[in-house]
Amino acid sequence: MKTNRRNFIKAAGIAGTGVVTGGMASCAQKETPAAEIKPQIWDISENKGSQVFNMSGYAAPKLDVVRVGYIGIGGRGMAAVKRMALLEGVEIKALSDLLPERVKEAQEYLKKRGMPEPKVYADGSQELWKEMCEKEDLDLIYIATPRDLHPSMCVYAMESGAHAATEIPAARKMDECWQLVETSEKTKKHCSMIENCVYDFWELLILNMVRQGFFGEIVHVDAAYIANQINTNLRKDLEWRTREFINRDGNIYPTHGLGPACQVLNINRGDRMDFMVSVSSADFTMGKEIEKRAQEDDYYKQFIGQWKLGNVNTSVIKTVNGKTIKLQYNVGNPRPGTRVFWVVGTEGIAKKQPFPSRISKGGGWVSEEELTALQEKYTPPIIKIVGDMAKKVGGHGGMDFLMQWRLIDCLRNGLPLDMDCYDAAAWSSIVPLSEWCVANNSVPVRIPDFTRGGYKTNAPVDVEMARGGGNTGIKQIIRFDDDYF
């Protein structure tokens, strides 16, 4: 990561603050009391001035029918098309992908379900998706492409008059994060990440319990994304994933753990992330795996010596209100996948994984009978309304379907989105900030206030309530069998 020279000089204290190695050594020699040593928090993001329009809590005009265009019909995109086809009040109007065969598959699927045939934008052109944005009258553009394309596509979608929903993360650089915020505020179009873990059943249960004060005041959250992706990240047919990792080190996929943590801590809605430190282990597996594969396949020779991502990245975040988040990322070890989600309050805690998920009140884990009673009492309305159908449809246990249902529910009923442009920017900013922090010996780095002061009065998100008024429903499933997805 490169940083602005002016900010670098200011943050490093070269003008005489003494916050450099020699200065710290001098402080130690003079036996300065620890309480008087205040290390500098580096700021690598330009101040973006005042908020133009507050998108937090903004309810766009109701849409009787949500006209959707898709960019990217790969694995994630195709599954999203199929789930969206089940929702009433949705028209899938256009599909765009580099590979015509993918779009054809989606067309045939929709035709089979008795839906109108969408317009196709797929001839191998890298820029054809822009034509779709310009020509089609769309309300929502759903982006399921490689990560480096997310920010530019979101901006183009909003400037074309549509709301944007994108796979994660929404951006990879600080200026891209700010661009998402500025464009959303300027156009008054939503820019939301498609972060499914916010809609997992346990996370929604705990969020509802937090809102009702069961755990007291939340003071800390442990969050993580841990998965054995050694093979996935080196697949030839997913070369973009390999290139996403090489020559980078930090937490480059933070939002699965961070999203639910930010929801329970009311980040951007009463509190905000203030600064972070991030440290990575060395890589002990992926480089060796690349070298091993290169002995049998010349394809992998191009990546020898380029994998820099450490096996485990650990970041610690502190909020303005004094709360903390521990965020971990590990995709390079042969270990069971887990999304650590421990919510620590003044009166109790909850943990998701390792399974079984448990709740503690007053120091001990509640019994299975007590846990069942708590689930019956605190299961939020959104799960009661859509949970059974979500489990049948599937998609990471149903949370994918729940996520899409909720998105359409908000757009059709004129409700604020659960994840807005400030969340997209703040959660995604951990990517470049962690990379910069790791590259600079893990010194503290400032997390910008993307709300530009709005967080102080923004109301907490009410995703667990699902107060849609019944405007959205689910189409009758014509055929639901093993090949449905």
Q: What is the DSSP letter of 198?
A: G
Alpha helices in 188-246 (DSSP H): 201-211, 239-245
Burial 10-23 (b: 16+ CB within 10 A, else e): ebbeeeeeebeeee
HSE (side-chain half, CA atoms, 13 Å) at 440: 23
Residue labelled with tokens 């929709």 = 110
- Examine residue 444 and say whether the peptide bond preceding it is cis (omega within 30 degrees of 0): no
| Residue at 392: amino acid letter | K
- Phi, psi of 93, deg, nearest 5: -90, -30
Q: Mind listing the pLDDT tens digit for each residue in 305-360?
A: 999 999 999 999 999 999 999 999 999 999 998 889 999 999 999 999 888 999 99
Rounded Cα–Cα distance for residues 363 and 476 (Å): 47
Q: For position 462, what pLDDT does the model report?
A: 84
User: Where would I find the beta strands (DSSP E) of 81-217?
Assistant: 90-96, 119-121, 140-143, 163-166, 191-193
Domains and CATH numbers, the chain: 5-36 (no CATH), 197-379+430-450 (3.30.360.10)
Rounded Cα–Cα distance for residues 163 and 403 (Å): 16
- Phi, psi of 243, deg, nearest 5: -70, -20
**Structural contact between residues 194 and 84, judged by C-beta atoms closer than 8 angstroms:** no
Q: For position 472, what pLDDT does the model report?
A: 61
Nearest to 63 by CA among 477, 468, 475: 468
Residue 399 CA: distances (Å) to CA of 33, 83, 195, 261 = 51, 11, 10, 16
Widest Cα–Cα separation across the chain: 79
- Non-local (6+) Cβ contacts of 289 within 8 A are 230, 234
Q: Mind listing the pLDDT tens digit for each residue in 304-317?
A: 999 999 999 999 99
Q: What is the full per-residue pLDDT of the chain (485 aa) written as tens digits? A: 444 444 443 444 333 333 333 344 444 455 667 667 666 899 998 777 899 999 999 999 999 999 999 999 998 999 999 999 999 999 999 999 999 999 999 999 999 988 999 999 998 888 999 999 999 999 999 999 999 999 999 999 999 999 999 999 999 999 999 999 999 999 999 999 999 999 999 999 999 999 999 999 999 999 999 999 999 999 999 999 999 999 899 999 999 999 999 999 999 999 999 999 999 999 999 999 999 999 999 999 999 999 999 999 999 999 999 999 999 999 999 999 888 999 999 999 999 988 899 999 988 999 999 999 999 999 999 999 899 999 999 889 999 999 999 999 999 999 999 999 999 999 999 999 999 999 999 999 999 999 999 999 999 988 866 555 556 666 654 444 445 54
Kindly report the pTM of this predicted structure: 0.90
User: Where would I find the beta strands (DSSP E) of 309-391?
Assistant: 313-319, 324-330, 341-345, 348-351, 358-361
Rounded Cα–Cα distance for residues 331 and 224 (Å): 11
